[in-house]
């Protein structure tokens, strides 16, 4: 009697950059080739980006209808359906939410069903993902990622199913990564069959396909079918859809992972992370635009004809999401930097919204104050801000939480003293003496120990100073020190800003690549951090979460020796690599060091030392690698502050404009907030205000958000806007919980224009 083997597949392709090899018929070709397998009795899943489904339905409606019918008949199911298939651990919180929302809504609109299976080609993982997926109606997740240009590492299991428990305790059924997870090449399928043919148990074989009926591709239905015929001869062959596996083999084991238990397999630091840095800036601009427009909306204000700039914000968000697609990120140079083009367009839509709302508010706040200041974060803060339309930098203190406020600039509570010496520029800052040396290293003493910060490293090279440090005073309590050094193939011009209102040293670095570096991490430019004692733990963040631990994972990266498709590959070991979203903090018994960044997300631990990757050359980019980049990071020593809040402030600057109003309102603050919540988004939807908040702590917190506007009721909703329950403005957040609130607003009374119709009717009668 033959053993039973359950077989299923996922077929992947995407609209994003599909022309880089096969042209505009890519999605139709892949769909048709997949349907050939379906016609032969197979079942599986389709994994296109949701923007790809939109394109397929518009450009090739007949083929899309065939696909839709296969879904209706239960032969094919939709796998994932994010809008552009990003690397989620590298994008901010609200982008992760909107990628899911946009994707699910596209699938509902075009297919008439919601996707239940979440399975992406590339590394799609972070510990809060189960909570988001369950809130969007997903029921099954899959841990089987592909090795393409990236080389992810995922724990392997014997059993085909398990429960994945997220950081907040949410549990989603999952397909595990096993020996029976097979990549797209027929040779992989043949090797797997040979390995398992003698096993006396039911088998669940999952294959990932990227079907394309073209001689310019190596995964075609005709090749797969030959190996499947062999399966039919050896086994009792049973086709199923991927999500059916969790019903046939119900999960028992519960697994919980830290973000560092899996390796993303990416070249973080490539091209100075310029694309990731710019994406964050523009996402922040979009978020600022939403908050400002929402504050105006609930106050009955608007600088444009419409009450809220819906389409501009949505289009900017959509273009941002296109720039987040995995190939635009991973294959950045090969794809011709197209992501930066989409980013510029998104910026051109979002930036004017911020500018015109700030201009409107500046005319409505009390003109007896000097400044109109916008704080996008839900807590009081201080800092330095550039005044829009000028080169002026001002200091502001006691800026209330979340809103637009009339304030006066501060003269600086304490003058910073600085002077030149033979050793470098010495600075008295926060009660200690700091020395910026010609080699860019900053020396200081804290708690009786001497520390060296900002040591630039490139393996095999010494740091060579190119000039003496220079000193410039910006404000009495804000100074700037500049250095210039050469480190192997890199020339670095650095600006060190010491501000009395900042708890961190802000460092901006311009990197010129004067010759092609060694490939991979062997030739990377890094910043070394070392507290000179045993490392007890690292604290680092990921979307919607913070965790503690010491990353300990060995894997590899591979790169092409020549042409990406046809050349042989070479390998590089990667040891203790991990990613953080905004910060990493080193903690020892008697000291701590905090590294804040604007998008340089790659880190390497070597014993008790930590290295932040600023730049590396990735051979996948060929000759199209960045020659000049700019990055920004901050270093804080022995501070007892919330690192997540500091990282948010580092990445979300306040916005200021000269106050132009008459005596009037001092502030436009939508809520009186009490509690340590984090804010993901505020925006208007219909005639409701949507507010998404989250708890970064591992214990329950209580908060209140008392609106300063009229509202009818408050509901807690899921990500798709479905009501969970009616709630109050007194909020309980479970550990690591993400919660979305909908504030229903009173019906708006719009002033009619009928009385002005004569203006047009009379004008058009004129002869």
At residue 728, the pLDDT reads: 97
How far is it, in rounded angstroms, from Cα 403 to Cα 374?
6
Buried b / exposed e over 55-66, threshold 16 CB at 10 Å, is bbbeebeebbee
- Domain 417-651 is found in CATH 1.10.579.10: no
Which residue matches tokens 């006396």? 200
CB 673 within 8 A of CB 492: no
DSSP string, 346-395: HHHHHHHHHHHHHHHHHTTB-TTSSEEEEE-SSS-EEEEEEBTTSS-EEE
pLDDT over 70 at 219, yes or no: yes
Enter the CATH code of domain 4-257: 3.20.110.10
Digit-coded pLDDT (tens) for 623-651: 999 999 999 999 999 998 899 999 999 99
pLDDT over 80 at 197, yes or no: no
For the residues 84-101, what does the mean pLDDT come to?
Answer: 97
> How does the average pLDDT of the chain come out, rounded?
93
How sure is the predictor about 17, in pLDDT bands with cuts at 50, 70 and 90?
low
Q: For residue 272, how many other CB atoms are within 10 A of its CB?
A: 25
How far is it, in rounded angstroms, from Cα 39 to Cα 191?
26
For the residues 10-21, what does the mean pLDDT come to?
Answer: 76
How far is it, in rounded angstroms, from Cα 162 to Cα 171?
10
Q: Which residue has the higher pLDDT, 701 or 763?
A: 701
Q: For residue 391, how many other CB atoms are within 10 A of its CB?
A: 6
Cα–Cα separations (whole angstroms), residue 589 to 13, 537, 586, 642: 50, 10, 10, 18
For the residues 322-336, what does the mean pLDDT come to?
Answer: 86
At residue 749, the pLDDT reads: 80
How far is it, in rounded angstroms, from Cα 321 to Cα 402?
25
Digit-coded pLDDT (tens) for 476-503: 999 999 999 999 999 999 999 999 999 9
Q: Which residue has the higher pLDDT, 456 or 186?
A: 456
Q: Which helix (H) or strand (E) holds 329?
A: helix 326-330
Fold for the domain defined by 667-767: Immunoglobulin-like (2.60.40)
Phi, psi of 278 (to 5 degrees): -70, -35
For the record, the structure tokens of 302 come out as: 């608007």
At residue 42, the pLDDT reads: 97
pLDDT over 70 at 20, yes or no: no
Alpha-helix residue ranges (DSSP H) falling in 147-237: 186-196, 221-234
Instruction: Show me where the domains of the chain are located.
Output: 4-257, 417-651, 667-767
């Amino acid at each position: 009697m033959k053993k039973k083997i359950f077989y299923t597949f996922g077929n992947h392709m995407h609209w994003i950059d599909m022309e880089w090899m096969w042209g505009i018929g890519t999605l139709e070709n892949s769909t048709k080739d997949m349907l050939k397998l379906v016609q032969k009795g197979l079942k599986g899943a389709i994994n296109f980006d949701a923007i790809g489904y939109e394109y397929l339905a518009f450009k090739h409606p007949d083929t899309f209808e065939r696909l839709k019918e296969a879904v209706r008949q239960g032969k094919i199911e939709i796998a994932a359906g994010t809008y552009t298939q990003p690397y989620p651990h590298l994008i901010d919180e609200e982008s992760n939410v909107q990628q899911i929302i946009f994707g699910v809504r596209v699938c509902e609109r075009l297919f008439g069903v919601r996707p239940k299976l979440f399975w992406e080609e590339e590394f799609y993982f972070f510990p809060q993902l189960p909570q988001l997926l369950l809130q969007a109606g997903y029921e099954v997740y899959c841990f089987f990622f592909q090795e393409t240009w990236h080389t992810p590492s995922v724990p392997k299991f014997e059993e085909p199913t398990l429960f994945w428990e997220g950081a907040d305790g949410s549990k989603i059924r999952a397909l595990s990564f096993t020996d029976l997870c097979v990549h797209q090449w027929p040779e992989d399928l043949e090797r797997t069959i040979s390995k398992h043919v003698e096993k006396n148990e039911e088998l669940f074989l999952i294959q990932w396909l990227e079907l394309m009926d073209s001689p310019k591709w190596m995964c075609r239905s005709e090749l797969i079918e030959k190996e499947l015929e062999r399966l039919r001869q050896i086994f009792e062959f049973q086709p199923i859809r991927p999500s059916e596996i969790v019903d046939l083999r119900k999960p028992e084991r519960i697994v919980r992972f830290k973000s560092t238990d899996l390796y993303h397999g990416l070249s973080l630091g490539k091209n100075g992370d310029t694309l990731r840095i710019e994406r964050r800036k523009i996402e922040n601009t979009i978020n600022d635009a939403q908050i400002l427009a929402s504050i105006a909306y609930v106050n009955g204000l608007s600088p444009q004809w419409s009450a809220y700039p819906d389409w501009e914000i949505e289009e900017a968000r959509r273009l941002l999401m296109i720039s987040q697609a995995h190939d635009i990120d991973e294959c950045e140079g090969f794809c011709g930097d197209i992501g930066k083009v989409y980013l510029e367009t998104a910026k051109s839509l979002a930036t004017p919204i911020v500018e015109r709302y700030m201009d409107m508010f500046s005319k409505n706040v009390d003109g007896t104050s000097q400044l109109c200041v916008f704080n996008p974060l839900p807590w009081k803060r201080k800092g330095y801000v550039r005044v829009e339309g000028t080169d002026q930098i001002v200091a502001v203190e006691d800026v209330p939480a979340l809103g637009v406020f009339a304030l006066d600039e501060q003269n600086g509570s304490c003058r910073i003293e600085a002077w030149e010496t033979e050793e470098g520029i010495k600075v008295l800052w926060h009660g200690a003496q700091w020395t910026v040396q010609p080699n860019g290293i900053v020396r200081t003493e804290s708690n009786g120990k001497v520390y060296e910060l900002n040591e630039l490293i490139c393996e095999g090279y010494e740091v060579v100073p190119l000039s003496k440090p220079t000193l410039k005073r910006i404000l009495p309590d804000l100074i700037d020190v500049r250095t210039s050094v050469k480190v192997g193939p890199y020339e670095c011009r650095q600006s060190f800003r010491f501000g009395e209102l900042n708890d961190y040293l802000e460092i901006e670095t311009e990197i010129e690549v004067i010759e092609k570096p060694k490939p991979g991490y062997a030739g990377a430019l890094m910043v070394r951090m070392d507290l000179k004692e045993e490392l007890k733990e690292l604290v680092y963040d990921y979307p919607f979460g913070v965790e503690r631990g010491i990353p300990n994972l060995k894997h590899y990266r591979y790169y092409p020796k020549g042409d990406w498709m046809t050349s042989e590959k070479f390998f590089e070991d990667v040891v203790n690599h991990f990613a953080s979203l905004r910060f990493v903090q080193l903690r020892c018994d008697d000291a701590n060091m905090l590294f804040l960044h604007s998008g340089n997300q790659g880190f390497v631990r070597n014993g008790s030392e930590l290295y932040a990757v600023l730049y590396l050359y990735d051979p996948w980019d060929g000759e199209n690698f960045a020659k000049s980049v700019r990055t920004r990071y901050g270093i804080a020593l022995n501070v007892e502050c919330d690192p997540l809040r500091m990282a948010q402030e580092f990445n979300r600057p306040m916005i200021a404009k000269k106050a132009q109003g008459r005596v009037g309102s001092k502030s436009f603050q939508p809520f009186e907030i009490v509690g340590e919540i984090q804010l993901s988004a505020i925006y208007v939807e219909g005639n409701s205000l949507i507010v998404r908040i989250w708890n970064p702590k591992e214990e329950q917190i209580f908060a209140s958000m008392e609106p300063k506007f009229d509202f009818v009721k408050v509901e807690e909703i899921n990500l798709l806007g479905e009501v969970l329950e009616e709630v109050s403005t007194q909020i309980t957040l479970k550990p690591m919980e993400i919660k979305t609130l909908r504030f229903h607003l009173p019906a708006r009374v719009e002033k009619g224009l009928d009385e002005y119709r004569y203006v047009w009717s009379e004008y058009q009668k004129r002869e």
